[in-house]
Structures are given as structure tokens and as C-alpha cells.
Amino acid sequence: MQVRLSADILRTLEKAGHVACWVGGCVRDELIGRPVNDMDIATSARPEEVAALFARTVPTGIEHGTVTVVMEKMPFEVTTFRTESAYKDFRRPEEVTFVRSLDEDLRRRDFTMNAIARKPDGTYIDPYGGREDLSRGVIRCVGDARERFREDALRMVRGVRFASVFGFEMEPDTWEALLELRGNMRHIAAERIRAELEKMLGGDRPAEGVRLLARSGLLEEAKIRLEPQALEAARPERLDGLPAKPGELRWTALLQGLGVSGEEAEDLLKSWTFSGGFAKSASALLRIDARMGAAYAAEEASRAADAGEAAGSGAGAPESGVRGAAAAGGERPDEAASQSGAGQASASRGEEELRLAFARCVLDFGRSAAENWLAYRSGLYGADGEEAARLERAARWLAAIPAESPRELALGGGEIAEHLDRAPGPWLGLLIRRLLEAAATGRVANERAALLEEIARLDSRPDAKEAKPS
């Protein structure tokens, strides 16, 4: 429908005596077999002439010659052929002049692959060899690369983004111009850089994009500052194994590779103009990964210590035999260890501690963050081996959690205070948290009677006195 409606717009403009064609990304993507999103239209008609030809239009960028034509509730941007001159701040033209010539309009564009037009009859207008560059897999500026990059320094990051997303190479002169003028990136707003980086990390080859940023040093002086050495050491290859959506996954991997903690990530991403929700989500993902990494390390250390104690007490020989037989049969070591009484107790204790650590992550950061973490670890480490078994187990735990907030407990705070005949206070929040953890780990059913029984058990413990008001 999008193609049909945009073709109708082109024909309407042509019937009125104007030149009209598809141009830019939609033509490029069609030529290389990628999905076409926006059908951008360029025309010799002035904005007011475009508006007069269609029943419903919106002057979305009238100063730059853009009118949005709405056809069957679908918006299409129609932009008048124009030239641009006297760029200021390395990003904005001081003057835009409407022209009747398509060739003049194509001449101002960034790269040859974006300077191809297509008429409704299928004819291509390609004065700068864009189709040949597409077939060769080359990113090349229209005309003088240095002039193009001086006009808008963000074009350098766009070039890197296109190279990584399409798997293309930068033409040598274009690359040399980029290296010469990379310092101009300091003039570009963080918001514009962030938008390009999001598209790059959301593409098919994010690792290559990070490597190109490292090689070029493009962001060394930018408002989103990333040092080449840090990018090189950030293990960018991990990004390619992660899904593009949600976007937090790849950004988390990059931040983790850069040594950014969960506590630092939220403020850093906000300073890079990411939304508060995105920054909070990435921060939560990093925090969960740090917590669970520590929990897994503690479990492994505990297992090793238990194995050492068993060996020292003379119990090591039989257990070693069980482990050896299990290894030969393809069983996991912790499953083999569970065949002995001491090993079974150790494995059970370790699993309880892991489940509690995971439950606390869910309670602190939410189910969505926990689901993101499962996808993150799966993307990093694959679907086989011990990590896959851990994630499968954590997914089962997550599915079984009956309550994630106090309002989901079968027993309310007021009922608890009344049952214990105490005035509400900080102790109540601590007790509710313990009930949530008990329910989340499956130790206590989320039922009124079971929760009251757990309250009685907790209230009888020596440390419960600390939670009581004096």
C-alpha cells in the first residue's frame, strides 16, 4: 500500500507539470534488497504548490521545503528540490534555496548511495554513480568529501553507521577526510550522535561499527566521548550475538565492556540524552548481572570448599568415583554430587541461595528487567552448557514467582500489624519484604494461612526483636 499510495502522489505531481521522484534511502534500500520503510519524495513543486494539489497536507518542515501529504491515513514527506549554502556550527545550513533541478538537489546529499532518484516509470537518475558504489559495497561522498563533512560533521558518524549496517567499506578518500576532520564532532549535539549510535547498534553488524569508531577516533572529542582504546578493549564481538531489541541489551554489553557499573550507567546514559526509562532499564540489567555473577561465583566457591572438606575427611574417594562415573555418562557435576548425602545438602543449599539472589533481583528491579537479563545472558553465552542450564532454571523460578510487590501478597500490611497488635512502622516494611522473598522463592505459598504461619516463625526468631518497636 505504501508504494501504491506514494506512486499516486508522484503521478499527481507529474500531471500538474512538476518533476517528482522517489529519492534517498527508499531507493537505496530497494536496490540492495533491504526492507523499505519511508517513501521519501522529492519534487520541483514549491511547498505551496504541493499543498494545493492534495486534500490533506501538514506543513511539517515548510522552511526546508517539506510538506507531509496524508493519503488514506498514511503520511508521506514531499520535499521541494533545494540547495544549501553557508553551513554554520558544522551542522545547519544558513540558507536553503528552492530550485527546479533534480541534479542540483542530489548534489547536496551526503553519500552517492543516497543521491539516487527513481521515477514512477522505473527510470533511475544517478549522476554520481551511487548504483555502482552499492554494487561494490562502497561508502563514498558526493563530490568533495571534505566539503561534505565540513557542512555537517555528523555525516562522518553516518558513514560509519552505513558501513557497519550494510557491511560496506569506506572509500579511501572519504575515510581520509573523516580522519582529518573528526575533531569537528565536538560541535555536534549529543542527541544527534546518540540517534546515529542507536541505529548502528541496532543494525546487523554492531561489533564492526564499534571497531570503526575505535579505528577512526570519531568520538574522542565528541559530546558522547568514547576513547578508541576503551572501545577496542570493550569486547565488541559480544554485541553481534545479542538481539537488536530491546536496545538495552547491546548497550548494556557495550557499557559492561567499557567498565561502566550499573550505578554509573543511569546517569551516564541520561547525559547522552537517552530517555529515563531506557537508562533505568540498562542500569537494572547491569546490576542484575553483577549480583547474579557474584551469586554464581559464591556458589562455585562453596562447592569447591565442600569438595575439599569431603576429600580431607576421607569422603573424597567415593564422591570422586561418583563424579568420574557421572562425567563419563555426560551428567553435570552438581547432579553427580547430589548422589551423596553431603553433596546433596550442599547442592540444595547452593540452589536455595541462588534462587534467593534471583528473587531479590526480580523484587528490586521488576519482572521485565529479569526477562531482559535472561535474554542478555542467553545471547552472550548461547543455548548450551552450564550457563544454559542456569538460565533455564532461572526462567522456571521467574515463572513461579506469585507476588512481586506488597499489593500482590495475600496478606496486607494492615492485616499484619493488626494480627501482631503493633503500630505500623519500619518493622512492617522489613517483614513484608521477608514475606515477599519467602513467596518468591517458593518456600511459602502466597496464601493467607501460610503467610501468617511464616510471620509466626519469623516473629519467634531472636533477630525478630530488632524489628520490634521498643
335-354 mean pLDDT: 64
Half-sphere exposure of residue 416, counting CA atoms within 13 Å on the CB side? 28
Q: Which fold has domain 137-241?
A: Hydrophobic Seed Protein (1.10.110)
**Angle at Cα 89 formed by Cα 84 and Cα 92, nearest 5°?**
30
Phi-psi group of 188: left, alpha or beta (phi > 0 → left; psi -120 to 50 → alpha; rest → beta):
beta
Contacts within 8 Å (CB) and 24+ apart, 97-101: 98/46, 98/65, 99/44, 100/19, 100/44, 101/44
Taking the C-alpha atoms of residue 414 and residue 4, their distance in angstroms, rounded to an integer, is 63
Cα dihedral across residues 410, 412, 418, 420: positive or negative: positive
Say if residue 407's pLDDT is above 80.
Answer: yes
The single-letter DSSP state of residue 228 is: H
Q: Which fold has domain 2-132?
A: Beta Polymerase; domain 2 (3.30.460)
pLDDT for the residue 37 = 86
Q: How far is CA 51 from CA 5, 12, 71, 78, in A?
A: 16, 12, 13, 10
Taking the C-alpha atoms of residue 77 and residue 5, their distance in angstroms, rounded to an integer, is 12
Say if residue 395's pLDDT is above 90.
Answer: yes
Residues 6 or more apart whose Cβ sits within 8 Å of residue 307: 316, 319, 337
Helices (H), 16-110: 25-31, 47-53, 102-107
Q: How far is CA 373 from CA 134, 143, 412, in A?
A: 38, 47, 30
- Angle, helices 316-328 vs 341-365, to 10°: value is 70
Contacts within 8 Å (CB) and 24+ apart, 122-130: 124/27, 125/21, 127/103, 130/28
Share of the chain above pLDDT 70, in %: 88
pLDDT for the residue 328 = 33
141-147 mean pLDDT: 97
pLDDT for the residue 470 = 38
- Angle, helices 206-216 vs 172-181, to 10°: value is 60
Which among 394, 333, 332, 331 is positioned nearest to 367, based on CA atoms?
394
Which among 210, 126, 130 is positioned nearest to 165, based on CA atoms?
210
* CA-CA-CA-CA dihedral for 240, 242, 245, 249, to nearest 10: -110
Half-sphere exposure of residue 95, counting CA atoms within 13 Å on the CB side? 4
Task: Write the pLDDT tens digit of every residue in 227-270.
Answer: 999 999 999 999 999 999 999 999 999 999 999 999 999 999 99
Helices (H), 329-466: 333-337, 341-365, 367-381, 385-400, 413-420, 426-440, 448-459
Task: Write the pLDDT tens digit of every residue in 158-216.
Answer: 999 999 999 999 999 999 999 999 999 999 999 999 999 999 999 999 999 999 999 99
Q: Are 294 and 302 in contact (CB under 8 A)?
A: no
20-32 mean pLDDT: 97
N-term to C-term CA, the chain? 73
269-287 mean pLDDT: 98
366-392 mean pLDDT: 93
- Better-scored residue on pLDDT, 86 or 363: 363
Say if residue 13's pLDDT is above 90.
Answer: yes
The single-letter DSSP state of residue 36 is: P
- Better-scored residue on pLDDT, 309 or 47: 47
Taking the C-alpha atoms of residue 213 and residue 160, their distance in angstroms, rounded to an integer, is 7
The beta strand positions in 156-201, using DSSP E, are 169-170
Q: Are 337 and 323 in contact (CB under 8 A)?
A: yes
Rounded to two decimals, the pTM is 0.85
Strand 66-71 and strand 57-61: the pairing is antiparallel
Which among 138, 116, 111 is positioned nearest to 126, based on CA atoms?
116
373-396 mean pLDDT: 92
Which among 360, 381, 393 is positioned nearest to 287, based on CA atoms?
360
* CA-CA-CA-CA dihedral for 212, 37, 17, 81, to nearest 10: -30
- The pLDDT-based confidence of 329 (bands split at 50, 70, 90) is very low
- The pLDDT-based confidence of 338 (bands split at 50, 70, 90) is very low
pLDDT for the residue 300 = 87
- The pLDDT-based confidence of 332 (bands split at 50, 70, 90) is very low
Taking the C-alpha atoms of residue 168 and residue 162, their distance in angstroms, rounded to an integer, is 7
Neighbours of 373 (CB within 10 A): 27
